[in-house]
């Protein structure tokens, strides 16, 4: 397979709709077709940069969870990107609310990552975690990823997929993504699976409305330079990492796409965070209500593609 064929196959592996959210309800005009080309452009923007510095943001709070906590979709994908890209990029980091940061740190420890910096700002309630391959710390990100990060709708409120107003629980970081690139400096990449996440403003409102239930209300109007839509947001992180490996001609670590290893990391994050499943609201090592067999299929498929 050529690199382009591998990228297309990787994207196809994650662009399914296991939760029946309506990502491709209209076969000709949907969230997948509206972002054609974005995945490859996102991968190339990082893989072809001479010294990429990647900053990520995540954390979707489930206020009616048992217990109320951040969901598993997003943090697990962030840890995967820390695992996969920390050794091949200049620096990879994540900014997240403090309680979500505890889960990410637990996942990083389970993955035996060397956390060079673990910075806490108690006043703002945010944590920053950075993996760096150069001795000097640098916060001038070349790329910023919003992974399963809720963004403002047309009425400047923030909504769940079910149309519940969650503004009081939202991490209102999307203002920065609205700045022109001359001010923010970084190329922005959104990863989402429902229409209410940062980056979905790249998709026409009419497309969201015809495909996503409650789309007229929940559609996030904040765009990113590139947008990766996947059946589960974590899957978009898996695909992005795989695409960068393909384009850089680098072989990934042997256990990176191993479902058993990913499950062990998730179990630690759920236990020590805690985190909850975003669909069921329960403190279980599951994502978006899927069984582990359903959830891990893209991991297995991507590994086969990389081996081909």
String of DSSP letters for 255-289? TTT-HHHHHHHHHHHHHHTTEE-TTT-BSSS-STT
Task: Determine contact, residues 57/149, Cβ cutoff 8 Å.
Answer: yes
**Comparing 121 with 248, which gets the higher pLDDT?**
248
Token pair of 185 as six digits: 């400096």
Residue 125 confidence (pLDDT) above 70: no
**Mean pLDDT across the chain:** 91
Number of domains in the chain: 1
How far is it, in rounded angstroms, from Cα 235 to Cα 106?
20
Q: What is the pLDDT of residue 213?
A: 96
CATH of the domain at 263: 3.90.1640.20
For 220: left if phi > 0, alpha if psi spans -120 to 50, otherwise beta; the answer is: beta
pLDDT at position 172 is: 82
Instruction: For residues 214-242, give the mean pLDDT.
Output: 98
pLDDT in tens, 151-191: 999 999 999 999 999 999 988 889 999 999 999 999 999 99
- Burial environment of residue 272 by CB neighbours within 10 A (0 to 12, 13 to 18, 19 or more): middle
Q: In this predicted structure, what is the pLDDT of residue 300? A: 98
Residue 301 has pLDDT above 90, yes or no: yes
For the chain, how many helices (H) and strands (E)? 11, 10
Stretch among 128-142, 251-265, 268-282, 289-303 having the lowest mean pLDDT: 128-142
Q: Is residue 214 over pLDDT 90? A: yes
Confidence of residue 119 (pLDDT cuts 50, 70, 90): very low
270-298 pLDDT, tens digit per residue, is 999 999 999 999 999 999 999 999 999 99
Q: Name which residue leads in pLDDT, 88 or 233.
A: 233
Give dist(CA 151, CA 57) in Å, integer: 12
Averaged pLDDT for residues 114-142: 54
Q: Is the pTM of this model over 0.85?
A: yes
- Rounded Cα–Cα distance for residues 170 and 168 (Å): 6
Complete DSSP assignment for 169-225: G----HHHHTS-HHHH-SEEEEEESSS-BTBBTTS-HHHHHHHSTTHHHH----B-S
In the predicted structure, residue 126 carries a pLDDT above the cut 70: no
| pLDDT tens sequence across 30-45 | 999 999 999 999 999 9
d(CA 142, CA 148): 20
- Report CA-CA distances (Å) from 278 to 101, 148, 227, 295, 298: 17, 11, 21, 14, 19
Task: Tell me which residue range forms the domain holding 301.
Answer: 3-307
% of residues, the chain, pLDDT over 90: 79
């Amino acid at each position: 397979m050529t690199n382009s064929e591998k990228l297309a196959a990787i994207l196809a592996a994650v662009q399914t709709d296991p939760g029946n959210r309506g990502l491709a309800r209209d076969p000709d005009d949907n969230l997948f077709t509206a972002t054609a080309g974005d995945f490859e452009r996102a991968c190339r923007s990082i893989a072809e940069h001479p010294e990429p510095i990647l900053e990520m943001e995540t954390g979707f709070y489930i206020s009616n969870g048992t217990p109320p906590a951040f969901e598993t979709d997003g943090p697990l994908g962030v840890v995967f990107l820390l695992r996969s890209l920390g050794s091949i990029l200049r620096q990879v980091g994540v900014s997240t609310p403090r309680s979500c940061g505890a889960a990410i740190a637990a996942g990083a420890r389970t993955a035996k990552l060397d956390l060079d910096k673990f910075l806490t700002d108690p006043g703002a309630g945010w944590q920053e975690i950075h993996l760096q391959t150069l001795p000097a710390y640098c916060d001038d990100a070349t790329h910023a990823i919003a992974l399963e990060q809720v963004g403002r709708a047309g009425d400047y409120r923030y909504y769940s997929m079910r149309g519940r107003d969650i503004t009081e629980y939202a991490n209102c970081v999307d203002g920065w993504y609205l700045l022109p690139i001359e001010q923010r400096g970084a190329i922005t990449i959104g990863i989402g699976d429902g229409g209410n996440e940062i980056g979905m403003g790249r998709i026409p409102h009419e497309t969201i409305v015809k495909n996503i239930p409650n789309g007229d209300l929940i559609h996030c109007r904040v765009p990113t330079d590139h947008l990766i839509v996947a059946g589960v947001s974590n899957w978009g992180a898996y695909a992005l990492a795989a695409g960068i490996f393909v384009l850089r001609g680098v072989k990934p670590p042997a256990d990176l796409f191993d479902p058993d290893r990913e499950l062990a990391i998730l179990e630690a994050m759920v236990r020590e965070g805690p985190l909850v499943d975003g669909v069921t609201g329960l403190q279980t090592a599951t994502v978006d209500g899927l069984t582990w067999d359903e959830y891990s299929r893209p991991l297995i498929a991507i590994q086969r593609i990389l081996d081909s």
